[in-house]
Structure 1
Amino acid sequence: MASTTISGVNTGLNITNIVETMVQAEKAPKADQLSKLQTKTTAQISGLGSLKSGIASLQTVLKDLNSTALFQKRTAVSSDSTLVAASATTTAASGTYKISVGQLATASTVATSAVAKDQTFGTGNSLTLSVGNTALPTVKLPADKAATLSDVRDAINSQLKDSGVSATIVTNPSDGQSRLMLTSTKTGSGNDITLDTGGNSDLEKLAIPTKGNGSASDVKYIAMASNAKFSVNGLDLESATNSVENAIDGVTLTLTAPTSVSATANGVTSSVDKPITLTVDQDKAGVKGTIKKFVDAYNALVDTTSNLTQVTKVGDDKQPIAAALVGDAGVRQILSTMRSELGRAADGDGPVRILADIGITTDKNGKLAIDDTKLTKALDTNYAAVGNLFTGDAGLMSRLNTKLDTYTQTGGVLESRLNGLNNTIKSIDKQNESLTLRTDQLRTRLLAQFNAMDSLVGQLNSTASSLASSLANLPGVVKS
Structure 2
Amino acid sequence: MAGIALNGLSSGLDTGTMVSQLMALERQGRTKLEFRQANAQARTDNLADVSSKLNTLKFRAQDFKLASLWNPQQTVEVSDATKISATRTGGAGTGATSIEVIGLASSSQRTFSFTSPAADETWTFGTANVNITAGMTLDETVLAINGQPDTGVIAVNAGGKLVVSSTTTGAGSTFAWSGAALTQDSEKIGTDAQYKVDGGAVQTSSTNTISTAVPGVDITLKAITSSPVSVNVSAPTADRAKIVEKIKGFIEAYNSVVDTVKTLTGDKKVTDPSTTAEARKGSLYADGGLRQLQSSLRSAISSAVDGLTNGDLDQLGEIGITTGAASSTINQDSLAGKLVFDETKFNAAFAANPTDVRKLLGGVSGTNGIAQRFEGLIDPITQTGGVLSNRRTETDSELRRIKDSIERFDDRLTFKETRLRKQFEVMEQMLARQNSIGGALSSALAGLPSS
Counterpart of 1:324 (choices 270, 279, 283) is 283
Counterpart of 2:122 (choices 120, 126, 130) is 126
Distance 2:421 2:344 in 1: 82
Distance 1:52 1:471 in 2: 85
What amino acid does structure 2 have at the position aligned with 1:331?
Answer: L
Task: Count residues with an aligned counterpart.
Answer: 419
Distance 1:188 1:420 in 2: 78
Whether the 8 Å CA contact 1:41–1:421 is kept in 2: the answer is yes
Counterpart of 2:228 (choices 235, 256, 275) is 275
From the superposition, tell whether residues 417 and 89 of structure 1 become closer, same or farther in structure 2 (CA, over 3 Å).
farther
* Equivalent residue number for residue 166 of structure 1: 154
Give runs of aligned pairs for residues 175-254 of structure 1, distance below 5 A. Answer: 180-195=162-177, 197=178, 203=179, 220-232=186-198, 234=200, 238-245=204-211, 247-254=213-220
* Equivalent residue number for residue 20 of structure 1: 20
Distance 1:104 1:259 in 2: 10
Whether the 8 Å CA contact 1:192–1:225 is kept in 2: the answer is no
What amino acid does structure 2 have at the position aligned with 1:347?
Answer: G
From the superposition, tell whether residues 458 and 168 of structure 1 become closer, same or farther in structure 2 (CA, over 3 Å).
closer
Distance 2:248 2:364 in 1: 19
Which SS does the other structure have where 2:100 is aligned?
strand
Whether the 8 Å CA contact 2:170–2:190 is kept in 1: the answer is no
Question: Structure 1 residues 183-192 or 242-251, which shifts more?
Answer: 242-251
Distance 1:61 1:253 in 2: 36
Distance 2:383 2:167 in 1: 54
From the superposition, tell whether residues 473 and 220 of structure 1 become closer, same or farther in structure 2 (CA, over 3 Å).
closer
User: What is the CA deviation profile of residues 138-168 of structure 1, one whole-angstrom value per residue up to 9, with x for unaligned ones?
Assistant: 32333xx4888877655322224x7652124
Whether the 8 Å CA contact 1:121–1:148 is kept in 2: the answer is no
Distance 2:218 2:379 in 1: 41
From the superposition, tell whether residues 346 and 129 of structure 1 become closer, same or farther in structure 2 (CA, over 3 Å).
farther
* Equivalent residue number for residue 35 of structure 1: 34
How big is the shift at 1:243?
3.3
Distance 2:229 2:340 in 1: 38
* Equivalent residue number for residue 389 of structure 1: 360
Which SS does the other structure have where 2:38 is aligned?
helix
Computed over aligned residues only, the root mean square deviation of the Cα atoms, in angstroms, reads: 4.7
How big is the shift at 1:93?
5.5
Distance 1:157 1:366 in 2: 64
Counterpart of 1:294 (choices 235, 250, 264) is 250
How big is the shift at 1:109?
1.5
Which SS does the other structure have where 2:173 is aligned?
coil
User: What is the CA deviation profile of residues 78-111 of structure 1, one whole-angstrom value per residue up to 9, with x for unaligned ones?
Assistant: 2221111234478456533322222222222234
Distance 1:425 1:399 in 2: 35
* Equivalent residue number for residue 274 of structure 2: none
Give runs of aligned pairs for residues 272-421 of structure 1, distance below 5 A. Answer: 274-281=227-234, 283-284=239-240, 287-288=243-244, 290-311=246-267, 323-332=282-291, 334-342=293-301, 343=303, 345-350=305-310, 352-362=313-323, 365-370=336-341, 374-390=345-361, 391-392=363-364, 394=367, 395-401=369-375, 403-404=377-378
* Equivalent residue number for residue 422 of structure 2: 448
How big is the shift at 1:448?
0.9
From the superposition, tell whether residues 194 and 41 of structure 1 become closer, same or farther in structure 2 (CA, over 3 Å).
farther
User: What is the CA deviation profile of residues 230-284 of structure 1, one whole-angstrom value per residue up to 9, with x for unaligned ones?
Assistant: 4256476544432345743443423211113xxxxxxxxxxxxx10223334654
How big is the shift at 1:381?
0.9
* Equivalent residue number for residue 157 of structure 1: 146
How big is the shift at 1:40?
0.6
What amino acid does structure 1 have at the position aligned with 2:337?
Answer: G
From the superposition, tell whether residues 472 and 181 of structure 1 become closer, same or farther in structure 2 (CA, over 3 Å).
closer
Which SS does the other structure have where 1:193 is aligned?
coil
How big is the shift at 1:57?
4.9
From the superposition, tell whether residues 156 and 259 of structure 1 become closer, same or farther in structure 2 (CA, over 3 Å).
same
Whether the 8 Å CA contact 1:307–1:323 is kept in 2: the answer is no
From the superposition, tell whether residues 327 and 358 of structure 1 become closer, same or farther in structure 2 (CA, over 3 Å).
same
* Equivalent residue number for residue 62 of structure 1: 61
Give runs of aligned pairs for residues 104-115 of structure 1, distance below 5 A. Answer: 104-111=104-111
What amino acid does structure 2 have at the position aligned with 1:183?
Answer: S
What amino acid does structure 1 have at the position aligned with 2:259?
Answer: D
> Higher strand proportion, which one?
1
Counterpart of 1:139 (choices 116, 127, 130) is 130
Question: Structure 1 residues 146-155 or 374-383, which shifts more?
Answer: 146-155
What amino acid does structure 2 have at the position aligned with 1:126?
Answer: T
Distance 1:52 1:32 in 2: 30
Which SS does the other structure have where 1:446 is aligned?
helix
From the superposition, tell whether residues 56 and 184 of structure 1 become closer, same or farther in structure 2 (CA, over 3 Å).
farther
Distance 1:453 1:170 in 2: 102
> Higher helix proportion, which one?
2
User: What is the CA deviation profile of residues 109-141 of structure 1, one whole-angstrom value per residue up to 9, with x for unaligned ones?
Assistant: 2346xx7x5474854x534433xxxx4x43233
* Equivalent residue number for residue 200 of structure 1: none
* Equivalent residue number for residue 81 of structure 1: 81
Distance 2:335 2:122 in 1: 84
What amino acid does structure 2 have at the position aligned with 1:352?
Answer: L
Distance 1:168 1:28 in 2: 83
What amino acid does structure 1 have at the position aligned with 2:305?
Answer: A
- TM-score, L = length of structure 1: 0.68
From the superposition, tell whether residues 252 and 359 of structure 1 become closer, same or farther in structure 2 (CA, over 3 Å).
same
Whether the 8 Å CA contact 2:264–2:285 is kept in 1: the answer is yes
Whether the 8 Å CA contact 1:64–1:290 is kept in 2: the answer is yes
How big is the shift at 1:439?
1.8
How big is the shift at 1:466?
7.4
Which SS does the other structure have where 1:307 is aligned?
helix
* Equivalent residue number for residue 328 of structure 2: none
User: What is the CA deviation profile of residues 313-342 of structure 1, one whole-angstrom value per residue up to 9, with x for unaligned ones?
Assistant: 99xxxx9x9633224455345445544543
- TM-score, L = length of structure 2: 0.72
